[in-house]
Amino acid sequence: MALFGTGGGLGLGLFLGWGLGTAIGNPFAPSAVTMAVIAVVGAIAGALAAIRPARRASRLAILSAISAP
């Protein structure tokens, strides 16, 4: 889920940066290294954010977790 958000944000940011840069005459040219670092940081942040909910879910009894109250 975090990778989809990171990818969408990168894509939208690049598109808007290119479009606005072209409109005002200021070229927008981010480096590939910068984009890769942003993608890796987003992936790491997503993985770290998923640890606590995953551990909590692993402690639940399966049948009681899916049964209706």
**Spatial separation of the C-alpha atoms in residues 33 and 48, rounded to whole Å:** 22
Q: Which two tokens stand for residue 64?
A: 């009681």
Q: What is the pLDDT of residue 12?
A: 95
Per-residue pLDDT of the chain (69 residues; tens, 9 = 90+): 888 998 999 999 999 999 999 999 888 888 899 999 999 999 999 999 999 998 988 888 888 778 866
Residue type, 51: I
Q: What is the pLDDT of residue 69?
A: 67
What range defines the domain where residue 59 resides? Answer: 2-66
Number of domains within the chain: 1
Q: What is the pLDDT of residue 28?
A: 83
Q: Would you call 29 helix, strand, or coil by DSSP?
A: coil
